[in-house]
Structure 1
Amino acid sequence: MQSVLRILLTGLLGALWDGVAALGGVRLVDGYNKCSGRVEVRRHDQWGTVCDHGWDLPEAYVVCLELGCGLAEAALPNAAYGAGRGEIWLHHVQCSGHESSLTSCAVVLHTNSYCTHDNDASVKCSGSLLSPTLTLLSPHTVFTSGESVRFGCSVLLGHHLSDFHLYKHGVATPLVTQRADQTQTRVELTLSDIETFHQGSYSCRYRIKGGFPSQLLSSPPSNSVNITVVELLTPQHWYNTSTEAPAGSVIKGHSFNITCSTPQQYPGGSFQLRLIRSNGTVRQSLPALSPSVTFTFPSAQSANEGYYYCLYRVQLGGRTFLSRESQPLPIAIRDPDPVLSPMVISWLVSGLTFVVAVVIIIIVAKVLCNKEKKPSELERETRTCVDNTYVALSINKL
C-alpha cells in the first residue's frame, strides 16, 4: 500500500513540476504602456492568461519586478484591460511578494475550474521605482569636524528591498550603505567623523531584487539635503606700539594695537580678545568684517597689563561655534623714563660746583695779588697768580 501511495505521489509531483517548468515567461498586453495590461504567461510556446482568483498586490509586485517595471500600483481583476484568448494557464496564484518570478509562486495549474477570460488578471506598474525620501534626523544642519550626521531614507512601498545608499552630489560611489530586510521601508544612514570635504548636498537610493533572471534594480535618487561643515582655525595675533618700548612692553600713556587674524571666516563671525590679569579677566569683541581686526588702546595703563588671547566666534544654523584660543601674548606696561636720570643730575651738580669754586678762587686771587702793585707789574703778577692758582686747583682736584 505504501509503495502505491509513493508511486502516486511521485507521479503527481512530477506532473506539477513538469507544468511549472513548462512556463516560459510573462508579459503584459493591451495596456496603456509596456508596464500595464493583462497578465499572460507562456507554456509550451503558447501564451495564456491568469485567473484572478486570489490575485492581489503580492502577485502584482512579482510581475512588475520580473518585467523591470518598478513597483505594482494596482492588482486588477475582471479583465480590466480586456479579455484574453486561449488557455487560462494559472489558477489561484499565491505569492508572498518576495519571489523573483511568477513561476516561483505557489500555483494551481490548468484545471477545469469555472474561471473564464472575464476573470483574467491584470496589473498596473509604476513603470519605474519610486523615489525614496531623505530626511535629516540630526537636529541641525550645521556641524563641526569630527561630528556625526544622521540621515533617514524611506520608501513608500517596501517589497524586495535589498539595501539603501547615501550619496554626496559629485561623488559616484556611496558614502554609506545599509542593508535592509525585504519589508523594511526606512533605514538610518549615519555619516561618522565628518570633515570639511563632507559639506554639500546629499541624496539616497535603494535597490530591490527583481527581474528575470533575478537582478538588483536601483531606484531614482531622493530629494536633496544640504549640510554645512564648519572648520574654525586658531587665530593669529600680534601687537604694535611705539618703537622706544622694549620687546613685550608698552610705555605707560602710549597707544598700542592688538590685531587678530584668521584665514577662514564665515558670515556674521566676530573676534574676541580676552585679557587675563591678576585681578580678573576682561573681554572685548569686534565683528569680523574682514579676515583681520584690530583692537585699539589709545593710552596704555596698568590695567592693560597681562596675557592676551584671541579667538573666532560664529553663529550658524542656530549653533554657536568657537575656535581654539591663540597662544598667550604677554604685554607689560612700563613707566616712561625721566628726562634727566639721577646720575646725569649728579654729574651736572658736581660740574657746576667746580666751576663756581674756580670763579670764586680766581676772584679772591685777583684781589690779593693786586695790592700795592704797579699797573704793569700788577698785570703780570695777577696773570702769574691766576695761573698758579689754576694749577693748584687742578692738582687738588686730581
Structure 2
Amino acid sequence: MTLTLSRVTPTDEGQYTCHLETQKSTTHSNTVTISIVKLNQPRIVLTSPDGGLARFAERSEITRGHSFIITCSISPQYPGGVFHLTFSGSNIDTKPAVNHSASFLFPVAEFRHQGNYSCVYQVEVASHNLSSPSSMPVTVIIKLKLNQPHIVLTSPDGGLARFAERSEITRGHSFIITCSISPQYPGGIFHLTFSGSNIDTKPAVNHSASFLFPVAEFKHQGIYSCVYQVEDAAQNFSSSSALPVTVIIQSPSLLMVCLVAASSLLLFLVILAVVCVVYRRRRGARQLEAHIQTPMAVTLRNHYVDSDEEEEEEEEERDYVNVDPAATKEKQWKLAGADEEESDEDHDYEEAQDDYVTLS
C-alpha cells in the first residue's frame, strides 16, 4: 500500500505508522515523522546610491547613467542559503545569503536594464533543496533626465519693451522666440507652447530653435514656453517646460503716430526746398550765360568797325597834313576819346569772359 501526498500542507505534518491486521494478529511498522517546511516569501528593495531613483505607485524610474542596487532579504528561518535574482522571468544572477540578505549592484543604468525584477530564496534542509515563492516584482523604468530649456524673446525691428513680469510687443512689429538647451544629446526637437497648447515644432540645430512671428497681432498675446524632446532606444523623452514668457501686444501710441507723420512731412518739405533751390540756380546760370554771350558778340563787332575807321582816319591825316592846327588838335582829341572808349570796351569784355568762365 502506498500513500501519496500530492500537495503537502501544514496539516500533513506528524508521525505516520503502517498497521497490518490479520485474523490472528496485528503488526505495526516503524514510525515515520513528516515535518512540513515552509519558506517565507522574500522581500525586494530598489535603491540608487547617487540619487537617480524616482518612485511611483506601480514603477520605479532610474535615470540613465546612474547606479542602482536591488536587495533581496528574508526573515530568519534557516542559516545560509542563496538568493536568485530574476529579470523578466529569467534568472540572471545568484548570490549567497549573508545575514539573510543579498545585494545586486548595477553600476550604470542602461535601457537594457529596464524590466521586472524579483527574488527567490533557496536553502538545503535535511538534504533537500527548498525554494521560496518569488518576491513581489519590482518594475524598473530607465529614463533620460533632460535639462530645463531656456526661452528668449527678441524683436529685430525694435518693437520690444521688457518689464518685470511681461514683455510688450508693438502691434505690426516682428518678434522671435528662441528655445535652447545645454548640450546633453545630439538632435532632438523643440515644441513651442502657447497658453498650454503646442503650436509649432522645429528641429534643434546647435541645441536651439527659433520661431519667427513676422507681424505681431493681438492673437499672439499670451504665455509662451518650450519643451525639448529627444528619442533614444525607441523611446521619446521630454524635458520639463521652460520658464514661461508673457507677451502683451500693444497698439502704437498716438504720440508715435504724430511723430512719424511729422517726420514724413518735414522730410517732404526739405526735399521740395532742395529741388526748388537747384532749379533756381540752374535757371539763373542759363540766363547769365545768355546775357554774357550777347555783349561779347557786340563788342567783337564794334572792335572790327573801330579798326576800319582808324585806318581811314590815318589815311586822311596823311592826305591832309597841312590842315589847320586847331582842327588837327580837335581831330586828335576825338581820336584819343575813341581809343579810350575802345579800351573801356576791351576791359568790359575781359570781365565778362571771367564771369562766364566762373559760372561754367
- Shorter-chain TM range is 0.3 to 0.5
Q: Where is the helix percentage greater, Structure 1 or Structure 2?
A: 2
Q: Give the TM-score normalised by the residue count of structure 2.
A: 0.34
Q: Give the TM-score normalised by the residue count of structure 1.
A: 0.31
Structure exhibiting the larger radius of gyration computed from Cα positions: 2
